[in-house]
Each structure stands twice: as C-alpha cells, then as structure tokens.
Chains A and B, each alone.
Chain A
C-alpha cells in the first residue's frame, strides 16, 4: 500500500487551489494520516505562506529534481502536525525546470512512506498543469460559481479526460448563499449540471479565510467556521467517508428565512 496522489487544479487562477490544498492537507493530517503536500507552481510559490512555513525553506522541488538534495531534505515538517510535510516550489525558475516524468518519479519515492500526496497545480493549461496531473490518482477541479471560472473549469476537465486522468471531481469554492438567494450567483446545482462531473464538496464564502491566510494557519483548524467545516468534510469524503453536503441552501425554506431575519 502506498499513498494516494491527489492533484488540485482549476484552469483559472485565484479560485482557491492553494487554499484548498493547504486545508485538505491539514485536515487529513489532523485525521492522523501521513501527508506530503507539494507546490508545483514553480516561479510563483505560495503554498509555503498559506501553511505558514515560509521561514523554514532550505531546499525546493527543483533542487530535488536536479539532484542537489535528497527528497527528505526538501520536506519541511509542519509546526503542528509532525506527519505533515511541504515540498515547496522553486521561486527563481520556471515550469520547464520539471517534467511530468520527474513528478512521477518524485511521487513514487514518497508513496511508500505517506498516506496522501497532495499536489497544488499552477493555473493554466500548459506545462505546469501537465506536470501536476502526471502522477495523480485523483484530480480535483476547483471552481467558483462565476462565469469565467466555470468556463475554465470545463476546459480543464476536458484536458484531464484527454490525459486519461478523469473523471475529475468538483469542488465549488466561495459560494455566497446570500447572493444565490438574490438570484445574482449561480447555484451549486447549476454549476454541477453545466460541468457534468461528480461534486465532492461546496465551500461557502467565508471572510475568516482571509484572516487565517494572513496568519498562515489554515481555516480547517477553526471548527466554528463554515469554510473550515466544509474543507474537513471534503477531506473525509476524499477518504471515502459518506458525509452529507452541508446545508448552504441560498433559497432556503420559510423557516430559514425567519432564521436569517433574527440575526
């Protein structure tokens, strides 16, 4: 038995790939699994700051690929979970420094010692994306309920299928139930129907995410936050647990309308 490799991608930038990677990695570590997350966005690394590990970097992904260090030396141990590691991207190089076969080799080396390897893909459909999905057992597509993000998600889903890595699973991030209720945001159902792939989870828009990113402590550790709960649920579903979708229904029934009024 080796680790399962999960790649998180989106097509469009800024929809929450890195936030999702960090939160799923921390969630799985908190459930007691051995997790390595890998930032494959070479030249634009960010998973280190989202996890709050930026000050500990010595070696990076490209150092491993080019043989300047062993993979263990590039694995940064998390502050809170001793079995959660980060392999950071190189900041001064570009995507061509790594090939899809390098990524497969690296993951093969990690697999025997880990339960999960989670790869944060760069935005776009070029080399960086191909690198990120090459070793994947499972591909998760992140989108926002918004026209350009959904369009790009559809493109990337097609490319994942073309690379024989499908079917991808969908995470809808930053759904705003109040906007859905007003009729000014696509519903989760709309997005699932348009993209026609399996839904793994919905993360509501939550301003606490900004604060948690500021601090470098993923929101999944804040059990009172809706986004944190949503990420934890997604991690459990990824693990094969059957967890019902959280009730974020923007439309709501008569009781939820009264409930909202009293707030």
Chain B
C-alpha cells in the first residue's frame, strides 16, 4: 500500500528515488568523476573565466549528460549583460 499512500501525499515512490539516484551514480561512475570533484572543477572554472569576462556566478551550471552510453560535459555559464552592468 505504500505506493498508494505516497501518491496521496505526492511523495515520489521508492522506485522513482532509486531511478534518480542511479542516474547520478552511473554518471559519476562512468566518468570516474566523483560529485565533489565536479564542484571543485566548477569553482576553478568560474575563477578562470571570471578573469576574462563578467559572469553570472549564481546561474553557472556544469553537468555531465548522457547520450546512450556516451557522456559529455556541459558547461552553461551566463555572461552578465552590458545593460545590467551599467545599472550596477
């Protein structure tokens, strides 16, 4: 009955949780890149990029994405628009 109660409470089922956890674990296993190192890499990249261009740090994203069994690192770092810079 747990599934039914979870649905009433709008709680994800344990299978949903398992799938989401596995999605992340497999990404890190395949790339041999533990989650903590992705965070370190992100900090480092942001530091390097900010030396050259003004970026929106809060919205910077680094993720490993899957395409079948292939993986790719996607880096999405919004630049601060000129208009916003003038507004300060």
Which residues on A are within 8 Å of B, measured CB to CB?
146-147, 150-151, 154-155, 157-158, 161, 180-187, 190, 194, 196-197
Stretch at the interface among B18-26, B37-45, B46-54, B55-63: B18-26
Q: Do B23 and A181 have beta carbons less than 8 Å apart? A: no
**B contact residues vs A (CB 8 Å cutoff):** 1-4, 6-7, 13-16, 18-19, 21-23, 25-26, 29-30, 66, 68-69
List 21 contacting pairs A-B, 8 Å CB cutoff, sorted by A.
A150-B22, A150-B26, A151-B22, A151-B25, A154-B26, A161-B69, A182-B2, A182-B13, A183-B2, A183-B7, A183-B13, A183-B14, A183-B16, A184-B13, A184-B14, A186-B22, A187-B15, A190-B15, A194-B19, A196-B68, A197-B69
**Residue on B nearest A250 in the bound complex, by CB:** B15
Structural contact, A194 and B16, CB atoms closer than 8 A: no
> Given A184-B13, A184-B14, do A194 and B26 touch, yes or no (CB 8 Å)?
yes
Provided the pairs A196-B66, A197-B69 are in contact, do residues A186 and B18 lie with their beta carbons within 8 angstroms? yes
Those 8 A-B pairs whose CB atoms lie nearest each other, nearest first: A183-B13, A183-B3, A182-B3, A196-B68, A196-B69, A190-B19, A184-B14, A154-B26
**C-alpha spacing A194/B23, complex, angstroms:** 7
Q: Given A196-B66, A196-B68, are A154 and B30 also a contact pair (CB < 8 Å)? A: yes
Q: How far apart are the CA atoms of A190 and B23 in the complex, in Å?
A: 10
Complex contacts, B21 vs chain A, CB 8 Å: 147
Cβ of A103 to closest chain B Cβ, rounded Å: 26
Contact A183 B30, CB 8 Å, known A151-B25, A194-B22, A197-B69: no
Contacts of A146 in B (CB 8 A): 18
Mostly helix, strand, loop or mixed at chain B's interface?
Answer: helix
Distance of A146 Cα from B19 Cα, bound (Å) = 9
Do A158 and B13 touch (CB < 8 A)? no
Q: Are B3 and A181 in contact (CB under 8 A)?
A: yes
Most buried by A among B3, B13, B19, B21: B19
CB distance from A224 to the nearest CB of B (A): 29
Q: A151-B26, A154-B29, A155-B29 are in contact. Are A186 and B19 (CB under 8 A)?
A: yes
Q: Which of A151, A183, A187, A197 has the most CB of B within 10 A?
A: A183
Task: Across the interface, name the chain A residue whose C-beta is closest to B14.
Answer: A184
* Residues in A whose Cβ lies below 8 Å from that of B4: 182
Q: Chain B residues near A157: list those with CB within 8 A.
A: 69
Residues from chain B with Cβ under 8 Å of A147 in the complex: 18, 21-22
Chain B nearest CB, measured from A187 CB (Å): 7
| Chain B residues positioned under 8 Å from A180 (CB to CB) | 15
Cα separation A151 to B22 with both chains bound (whole Å)? 7
Residues in A neighbouring B22, C-beta threshold 8 A: 147, 150-151, 186, 194
Most chain A CB within 10 A, of B18, B23, B30, is at: B18
Contact of B6 among A151, A183, A185 (CB under 8 A): A183
Residue of B with least CB distance to A157: B69
Complex Cα distance, B54 from A152, in Å, reads: 43
Q: Which residues of A contact B14 (CB under 8 A)?
A: 183-184
- Min C-beta distance of A180 to chain B, whole Å: 7
B15 contact set on A, CB distance < 8 A: 180, 183-187, 190
Q: How far is the CA of A185 from the CA of B19 in the complex (A)?
A: 10
In the bound assembly, the distance between CA atoms of A183 and B11 in angstroms comes to: 11
Chain A residue nearest in CB terms to B30: A158
